[in-house]
Amino acid sequence: MWALATPVATVLAALVPVIFNHRFYFYDDTQIGAYPIWREIGEMLRSGQWPLFSAEGWQAGNYAAEGQWGIFSPVTLGIGLASTYFSNALIFSTLAKVALLATASIGIYLVSRSLGARRPWAFVAGVASTLAGFTVYLDSPSWVTGLMVWAFLPFVWWSLRRMCYQQKSPLPVLISGYLLVTVGYVHGTIMMVLLFVAVLVELLVRRDWKSLVKTVSSGALLGLVALAVYLPGVLTLRTTARTQVVANTNFLTVDLTGLAGSALPSNLPQVASWWWGPFAPAPLTYIAWFLPLFALVNFRQLRRLVPGIASIPVFLILSLMLTLAPSDLGPLRTPVRLMPYVCLAVIVLLCVALSLARVTPISRTRWLSTAAVFAASVYLGWTGKPELWTVSARMVLIMAVGFALTAVALRRIRTKAKADGVVAAVLVATSLMLAFPQHHYFPNPPVQDFQLPADTSKYSTQLSGSKGQAVVVGTPSALDSSIWAESLVGNMWYLNPGSVHNLYSPIQNAAYSKDLCIGSRGETCKELSTKLFEIDPTSGKPIADLLRVDTVQIVRDAGDPAGAELDKAVPPSGWSVASRTANTVMWTRDVPLGSVGAPVYASEGTDIEPVSNSSTEVRFKVNEVPASGGKVTLGRIAWPGYTADGATIADPLRGYLLTVEVGPEMAGKTVTVSFQPPGWTLEIASLAAALLLGAAWSLVHALRGRRRPAGSGSGAAPAASAPSPASALRSGEAEREYALRKEDK
C-alpha cells in the first residue's frame, strides 16, 4: 500500500502548481531548449537518422559536445520519439515532468527502505523529496535534464546496496547508472560519483571488502560510459565560451543563512540571479516543513547504527559542500543547482532516523525541543523577507496543526506500526496542503516564460518566403508575445521548416559567438544587420557570404517602439525586401548561395570544384593550386574533430571558419574533409567495453545463482547485511537488531 501510495501522492502534489499556473512545467530552458530538442530528436529518429552532428546548426550543431542531447540515452531518445505524437508542447512537457517526479519518488522510497526506513517513513521521504523548493521551482519547470538525473540517482543508491548487502545482480546498478550518465547532464554524474564515494566510505567502515570491490568495479564500468558521454565536450572545451576559472560572482549561489529557514515553505533566500533584487522570488531553499522532528531522534542510538547507514551523512556532507561552492568552478557553473541532492539526503536521513532511533517514550522536553526548533526555523525564514509575514503566518498555522496531529498520534497510539502510519499520512497530507498556499503566493517559477505557443502547428509560418539559411538579428524575447507569429527564439526554430543560425547552445563557440554577437539562446545585438555585410579582409567577401546566409530577418529593437530604425533598414546590393511589418523586416538574396558547409573561399591561385557535401563530410576536387600551396575555407565551424584526407587542417578563418591547407601535389585530386567527435574511437570503444563487461558480469552472477545450493543463496540476508527493501528490517549489527526488536515490543 505504501509503495503504491508514494507515486500516487507525488502525482497529486505535482498537479497542484498547474492549478495556479497551467504553464508551470513549460518555462525557460524547457520551452526554448529541451522540448524542441526532444522534437528534433524524435523527427530524426523517425526519418532513420541518429542525432550526432549538424553543420547547419552552427554553434548548436555539435550534439556530442553539447552532451545534453543524450545521444546515447534511451530515456532522452524515447522521450523525443514520444513527443512527435503530441501536437501540444505544454501538455507533453507537463506529462513528462510529472512522470519523472513519480519515478523519483519510487526510487527514493526504495532507497529509504534499503537504508532502514519503515514503509510509512519511506512513503514520507518519497513524496516530500519531490516537494523541495529547488526541484519544484527550477528543475521541474525549466532544467529538466537536472530533474532527470536526480530522478535516477536514488535507483543507483538502492541498487548499490542491494548488490552489496543482498548479493544481488549488478545489472540494476549498471542500468540505473547508465540511464543517469547518458542524460549528459554533468552535475548529475558528479553527484553519482559522490554517491559512490559515500557508499565506499560505508563499506570501509563495515570492512566489507568483497562489496567494496564490487562497488569499485561497477563504478569503473560506469566511468567508461561517462568517458563516451563527456570526452567530446572536454576535448571541445578550448573552443567554447565556457569559463575555465574558479571564481565567485554570487550568481545563483546559496549560503548557510539561506538554508537556515529551509523548514518554512515561504522562505525566500538571498540568491542573486536573473531576477531583480537580492532575494529569490520563490522558496528555492525550502526542504520540508517537518524538519523540526529531528528533535525526536535519539542521536546516541543513531550513532551506534551509523556503520549500516553511513552513506547518508557522507553524501549529505559532500552534497552540501558542493552546493555552497563558488559560482564558477571552471566550466561548471551555479552549484546551487545541486540543492535537490541536499534535500534528498536530509529528508532520507530524517525518515531513516525516525524509523530506527526515535526516542520512546517522547518526553515533554523533547516536545519542547521540537517546538523550539520549529519556532527558530520559522523565525529564520521570516527574517529574510519580513514583509511576507501574512504569507508565513498562514503557512505556520497549517504547520502547527500538522505538528499537533503528529504529537497526538505519537502519544495516543501505542502500536508503533499504526502510529507510524498515521504520522506518515499527517506529514504528507500537510505537505500537500502547504503546496496550495505556496503556489497561490508564488505561482510562477523564477525564470522566464517566453509565452511561446503550446500548439506546435503554429511554428510553420515564421520566415515564410525565406531562402536558404537565415540569420535573425535582434532580441525577439524583449518584445511582446505577438512577435512569435513572425519570429522565434532558441531551439523553437527546430519546429520551423526553415534553417537558421539562431539556435540555443549552452556551450557556444567562443569566436563565432563573439564575431556575430550572438548569445547562448540565439539572440543577437542589433548591429549584426550591418556586420553581416562587412568585407572580410582575408577573403575579400562579405561575412554573410562566408556564412552562406541567404535570408536576414531584422527584429525591431525594444528601445525603438515606433520602429523608426526598422524603417531605415535598406538591403545591400544583390538583396531585396521580402516582407516588412511593424516588428520585422526580411531581406532575401536575389541569387541564393545555399549549400551550407561547402567551400566558401579559396586563396589566390587555388581553384577547386565541389564534389559532395553533408553535415559530417565535404569533398572537393582541386583543379589548380600554386607551388606554395593554397587554402580553402568551408562554411562551417572549425570544431575539434575535423580531419582532412589530402590536406591539413589550418588556422580557421576569422577564428572559427574551418580552413584546410592544400599542397601543390593535390592538383587534379580530391580532398575529403570529415568530422567525428574528438576521441570518437576511444569513446565508442569505452562504451562497448562497458556494455559487454557489464553484461558478462551480470550473466556470470545469474549462472552462479542457479548453481548455488538451496538455502545458501541470498534469499536470507546474513547478519552483516543491510536491510532489504522487502523485509521488515534486517539489521546489520546485533546491537541494531536488538534496538529494533526492543522498540517494536
User: Over the stretch 535-591, which tens digit does the pLDDT of each residue have?
Assistant: 999 999 999 999 999 999 999 999 999 999 999 999 999 999 999 999 999 999 999
Helical H runs in 473-594?
A: 510-515, 528-531, 543-546, 564-568
Which of these ranges, 128-137, 382-391, 569-578, has the smallest mean pLDDT? 382-391
pLDDT digits (tens, 9 = 90+) for 175-202: 999 999 999 999 999 999 999 999 999 9
Mean pLDDT score, 506-532: 95
Asked if 195 and 345 touch (Cβ cutoff 8 Å), the reply is no
Gap between the terminal Cα atoms of the chain: 24
Q: What is the pLDDT of residue 327?
A: 82
Max CA pair span of the chain:
97
Residue 125 has pLDDT above 70, yes or no: yes
> How far is it, in rounded angstroms, from Cα 54 to Cα 65?
12
> How far is it, in rounded angstroms, from Cα 336 to Cα 326?
9
In 3D space, the residue among 468, 499, 264, 479 whose CA is nearest the CA of residue 382 turns out to be 264
Q: What is the pLDDT of residue 414?
A: 81
- Rounded to two decimals, the pTM is 0.93
Q: What is the pLDDT of residue 709?
A: 61
Q: What is the pLDDT of residue 584?
A: 96
Mean pLDDT score, 653-658: 98
Stretch (H or E) spanning 63: helix 63-66
Residue 19 has pLDDT above 90, yes or no: yes
pLDDT band, very low/low/confident/very high, at 708 (cuts 50, 70, 90): low
Phi, psi of 657 (to 5 degrees): -90, 125
Asked if 68 and 181 touch (Cβ cutoff 8 Å), the reply is no
